Amino acid sequence: MDEPVRYARNGDVHVAYRVFGESDRGRDIVLIPGTISHVELLWEVPAYAHLIRRLTAFARVIVFDKPGQGLSDRVSQLTLEERISDVRAVMDAAGSTHATLYGWSEGGQMSMMFAATYPQRTSALILYGAYASLRHEPWLTEANFERFLEYLSTHWGEGALPRLYAPSVGSQTALVQWFAKIERASASPGSMLALFRANYETDVRQVLSTIQAPTLVLHRADDRVVRVAAGRYLAEHIPGARYRELPGSDHHVLDRETMDVLADEIQEFITGTRQRSEPDRVLATVMFSDIVGSAERAARLGDERWGELLRSYYEVTRKELTAFRGHEVDTAGDGLLATFDGPARAIRCACAVRDRVRQLGLDVRIGLHAGECELIGDKVSGIAVHIGARVASAAQPAEVVVSSTVKDLVAGSGIAFADRGTHVLKGVPGEWRLFTVR
């Protein structure tokens, strides 16, 4: 997920975008966001990152920030006509002559308008949780809409959206904190209120009959924000549209399982198959270790002597990994990542490595965390790996530090710990309690 942020020009407005995947896939998908967007932060959310991985298995994926949000220029107001011009500008900058448009929620109106206006550039149209007109939906009276705006203005930047749009995960503190940061980075409360008022007035019902692209409409049966009748209306009025009703009440998709369902539907609609290349997921304990003061030591010893010492370090470490059934995943410089199928063995291996390499005159810092990891070939990925790296960065020289998850999993093993208190791990939501192995 390290693709650079680029900027497309639509007149004087700069539109931030990123491109994921390879052009040799032969297909482009433009993701048109709903309420908020941020081309960096939003796609770090695990569920959204998972969607990108699924879609790039068969297509090149283009994401962007609507002007007024995220990393795009701030603008005072935008008409629907100007918004679809932004989509065209992004496609031009990315070298995309035609693409499938996937618009969710508020992004659905932009997607439908673009498909009707530029049929030659629209390979297919996919809508999720979308609507033609909020103002004419019977459940959203003006009084209800004003109460909704009052809620947003009071709680914007506190994780308002997941609490309201995704009740099934809205109680997850870390996720809410993560989205609170995205809300603050995406737009100010005033600009969001202006956007919602503009959305409330926008009506694309007269456009639906002119859409020529093959269309798939996806909607949750019990969507609490945009009722299912809105999705059914789209499917009935877009010529030849295919309709798929999904279980659930969340409007905002923030769980991996539902993202997989959406990715399956999108892949089958575009390619005709559901050949998923989903990686295995396992519970594993990840261990990160690195040599303390390696740069200074290398400068003092010189390349040749440092290279010999580094080889000895890895030889010792690998012997311990073999003894404790660890699996070496990756090395970079003097750092090593390994996984274990048992947290107690991981701790004992870490302590053995620490003690053995001290005989070489080296000190290491080691961090351990346990969680669900994705196995992709010989590599591992996922938030658990990221947390493990941050735990290691909190360790002092010759220290083995573990997360509370690891400590709890080895209860009864006889391994003793000293409490290191709570820490904020860079890039990881919430506070984490860490412990030193005694």
Mean pLDDT of 305-309: 90
- DSSP H stretches of helix in 324-403: 343-358, 383-393
Q: What's residue 314's pLDDT? A: 92
Cα–Cα distance for residue pair 77/199, rounded to 1 Å: 12
> Among residues 271, 300, 317, which one ends one of the domains?
271
Q: What's residue 16's pLDDT? A: 97
Q: What DSSP string describes 164-175?
A: HH-TTTTT-HHH
Strands 99-104 and 122-128: parallel
Q: pLDDT exceeding 90 applies to what percent of the chain?
A: 63
pLDDT tens digits, residue range 384-395?
Answer: 899 999 999 999
Rg of the chain on CA atoms, in Å: 25
What's the chain's average pLDDT? 90
> Among residues 271, 297, 315, which one ends one of the domains?
271
Cα–Cα distance for residue pair 287/327, rounded to 1 Å: 10
Mean pLDDT of 160-187: 85
**Any domain includes 233:** yes
Confidence tier at 280 by pLDDT (50, 70, 90): low
> Among residues 271, 289, 315, which one ends one of the domains?
271
Answer yes or no: do 248 and 301 share one domain: no
Answer yes or no: do 255 and 321 share one domain: no
Answer yes or no: do 310 and 252 share one domain: no
In the predicted model, is pLDDT for residue 277 greater than 70? no
Q: What's residue 383's pLDDT? A: 86
Instruction: Name the least confident of 39-43, 72-76, 82-86, 339-343.
Output: 72-76
Do 241 and 217 meet the contact criterion of CB atoms below 8 Å apart? yes
- Domain residues for 153? 6-271
In the predicted model, is pLDDT for residue 170 greater than 80? no
Answer yes or no: do 265 and 364 share one domain: no
Q: How many domains does the chain have?
A: 2
Cα–Cα distance for residue pair 132/204, rounded to 1 Å: 5
Answer yes or no: do 416 and 326 share one domain: yes
Q: pLDDT exceeding 70 applies to what percent of the chain?
A: 97
Mean pLDDT of 305-317: 91
**Any domain includes 150:** yes
Answer yes or no: do 16 and 152 share one domain: yes
Answer yes or no: do 263 and 392 share one domain: no
Looking at per-residue confidence, does 26 or 404 come out higher? 404
Answer yes or no: do 263 and 352 share one domain: no
Give how far Cα 183 sits from Cα of 145, 157, 162, Å.
Answer: 20, 5, 10
Cα–Cα distance for residue pair 347/366, rounded to 1 Å: 10
pLDDT tens digits, residue range 188-221?
Answer: 998 888 888 888 888 999 999 999 999 999 999 9
Q: Which of 77-86, 134-143, 214-223, 325-334 tops mean pLDDT?
A: 214-223
Q: In degrees to the nearest 10, what's the CA dihedral of 260, 264, 265, 268?
A: 170
Answer yes or no: do 176 and 292 share one domain: no
CATH number, domain at 173? 3.40.50.1820
CATH number, domain at 357? 3.30.70.1230
Cα–Cα distance for residue pair 200/283, rounded to 1 Å: 45
Q: What's residue 173's pLDDT? A: 78
**Any domain includes 38:** yes
Confidence tier at 136 by pLDDT (50, 70, 90): confident
Q: What is the pTM of this model?
A: 0.66
